[in-house]
Amino acid sequence: MGEKIVHQPRNLKAGLEIPFLVEKIKVAAGTYVEGEVIQYDVATEKGAKCTEIEKLYGISTDKVTVKDNEEITVYISGIFNSKAIKKEDSIEWKNLKASARPLNIYFR
């Protein structure tokens, strides 16, 4: 028979009431995973894993490993499953939700 394959459904999106708009941005080198919270620094025109909530930009669409200044695709709006979101421990949920609302990013 062979190896048993287990399908794991992707549960990042939680609703279709708000469109899922995407944008490509240059980021710092590293591995980004689907559902990871991304920040963007306007001065450097570069994104990174979100550690400063006031720079919140969006949610990573996929798992990808990039070199410095390579692009990733980020959701800049939509409704997301809060259990599928990857954030730094220093970012509190209440602050993330409050900062995301003006960007049309919501969590369920």
Summarised one tens digit per residue, pLDDT across range 45-66 is 999 999 999 999 999 999 999 9
Provide the number of structural domains found in the chain.
Answer: 1
Q: Are 64 and 38 in contact (CB under 8 A)?
A: no
> Residues 4-54: pLDDT tens digits?
655 455 789 998 999 999 999 999 999 999 999 999 999 999 999 999 999
Neighbour-count burial for 70-90, b at 16+ CB within 10 Å, e otherwise: eebebbbbbbbeeeebebeee
Mean pLDDT confidence for 64-85: 97
**48 falls within a domain:** yes
50: domain CATH number is: 2.40.300.10
Q: Which domain holds residue 96?
A: 13-107
**49 falls within a domain:** yes
Confidence (pTM): 0.89
Decide the pairing of beta strands 78-80 and 105-107: parallel
